[in-house]
Amino acid sequence: MPAYKRILLKLSGEALMGDDAFGINRSTIVRIVEEVAEVTRLGVEVAVVIGGGNIFRGVAGGSVGMDRATADYMGMLATVMNSLALGDAFEKVGVKARVMSAIAIDQVVEPYVRPKALQYLEEGKVVVFAAGTGNPFFTTDTAAALRGAEIGAAIVLKATKVDGIYTADPKKDPAATLYSSISFDEAITRQLEVMDATAFALCRDQKLPIKVFSIFKPGALRRVVMGADEGTLVHV
Ligand code: UDP
């Protein structure tokens, strides 16, 4: 039995890059989508928020010197591209998926309407939330917390390159160990970076647990959904 009925999966844009320097790597996106498909077959309702960092980020790279809000809108459009690629990849593996955008771009993607999203989830469709929160100065982590709370997800699964939250940066400190679980309060006290501050505060206020795990470990998503002790659980 899966541990959760409905999940919000946050994928960073970089998760789609694979070993490429930028953009979307086909075999990587197919592998991720297949892992999500497996979870839907367990009867779990899945919503996805995808980042845009593999294409454009509002606070770095090509945006240096730009007006921040303009750069952020570009970042949000990058997430729309990733969302379209994901939606397409889901359909290719036979999973019904719907992409919904927080920014009006109706000819390309249907708009985000909460009741509609809930309906799709109940129908077993994967819902991909594009364009983050629709607002500059936010991140897709915050979009994941926001949409997760809105759809009543049991948990936000933050898929990353690392396998969870460590006591210290394992690249700098070889003695660093992985937390299997930690409370929101303890994470604050220990100044551990789980998600950005806005996303973290929203999850904490809404008592929405977060699990940080590595999407690069084959089968990790399935194991996490089945309640395995993998990655780090951030709990109330
Ligand atoms: N962004 C934004 N508002 C949002 C979500 C995203 O302005 O609600 C912009 C922001 O510029 C951000 C970019 O979109 O840098 C890509 O999102 P993010 O950095 O969260 O992607 P990830 O790091 O997960 O790939």
| Longest alpha-carbon distance in the chain | 52
Name residue 19's amino acid: D
Q: Specify the pLDDT at position 94.
A: 97
Q: Specify the pLDDT at position 140.
A: 98
Instruction: Using the mean position of ligand 1's atoms as its centre, give its distance from the Cα of residue 178 in Å.
Output: 27
- Position in ligand 1 atom list of the atom nearest CA 137: 7
Q: Which residues are annotated as a binding site for UMP?
A: 52, 72, 133-140
Q: Specify the pLDDT at position 62.
A: 76
What is the separation, in whole angstroms, between the first and last Cα of the chain?
A: 23
Instruction: Using the mean position of ligand 1's atoms as its centre, give its distance from the Cα of residue 17 in Å.
Output: 16
Residue in 16, 24, 72 to alter for ligand 1 test, most ligand atoms within 8 A of Cβ: 72
Q: Specify the pLDDT at position 60.
A: 79
Instruction: Using the mean position of ligand 1's atoms as its centre, give its distance from the Cα of residue 175 in Å.
Output: 32
Q: Strand locations in 30-121, DSSP E?
A: 45-50, 97-101, 110-111
Instruction: Using the mean position of ligand 1's atoms as its centre, give its distance from the Cα of residue 134 in Å.
Output: 10
Domain extents for the chain?
A: 6-235
Q: Which two tokens stand for residue 184?
A: 């929101």
Q: Specify the pLDDT at position 8.
A: 98
Closest CA to 144 of 135, 38, 155: 155
With beta carbons less than 8 A apart as the criterion, state whether 90 and 82 touch. Answer: no
Overall pTM surpassing 0.95 (yes/no): yes
Q: Specify the pLDDT at position 105.
A: 97
Q: Is 211 in the pocket of ligand 1 (CB under 6 A)?
A: no
Q: Whose CA is nearest to atom 15 of ligand 1?
A: 57
With beta carbons less than 8 A apart as the criterion, state whether 82 and 54 touch. Answer: yes
Per-residue confidence of the chain (236 residues) as pLDDT tens digits? 999 999 999 999 999 998 999 999 999 999 999 999 999 999 999 999 999 999 999 887 778 899 999 999 999 999 999 999 999 999 999 999 999 999 999 999 999 999 999 999 999 999 999 999 999 999 999 999 999 999 999 999 999 989 999 999 888 999 999 999 999 999 999 999 999 999 999 999 999 999 999 999 999 999 999 999 999 999 99
Fold of the CATH domain 6-235: Carbamate kinase (3.40.1160)
Q: Which residues are annotated as a binding site?
A: 10-13, 52-53, 57, 72, 133-140, 160, 166, 169
- Position in ligand 1 atom list of the atom nearest CA 60: 15
